[in-house]
Amino acid sequence: MSSYLNADKTYLTLTPAGIFEAFSQSEPTDEQLSLQDLMSYGETLLAADWLERYSDEWLQSFIEHGWIEKLSLLLPAPRNIITPNLCTRRLIT
């Protein structure tokens, strides 16, 4: 595990740039899929849990690129505030 963070007490979240990177290709790379995985939970993910599945080198690179932010507390994921009706556009004549 990484020597630069306390993985059992550090949570991970994607930055806006990380979200863009994670979803920038129609056929994502393994690295992009690992970023997408951070959005699969109802709360921020513990770094130790992410590191059980993915590379420590990837995590360090993602942090250096500004794609992942380290947090010291557990946060709930944002709730979807867009309803299907708001996503529908109709031409009114």
Q: What is the pLDDT of residue 79?
A: 59
Q: Which residue has the tokens 């740039």?
A: 17
pLDDT band at 76 (very low <50, low <70, confident <90, very high): confident
pLDDT band at 86 (very low <50, low <70, confident <90, very high): very low
**pTM reported for the whole predicted model:** 0.76
Q: Are the C-beta atoms of residues 43 and 76 closer than 8 Å to each other? A: yes
DSSP string, 24-39: SSSS--HHHHHHHHTT
- For residue 81, pLDDT over 80 is answered with no
pLDDT band at 10 (very low <50, low <70, confident <90, very high): very high
- For residue 67, pLDDT over 60 is answered with yes
CB atoms inside a 10 Å sphere around CB 34: 19
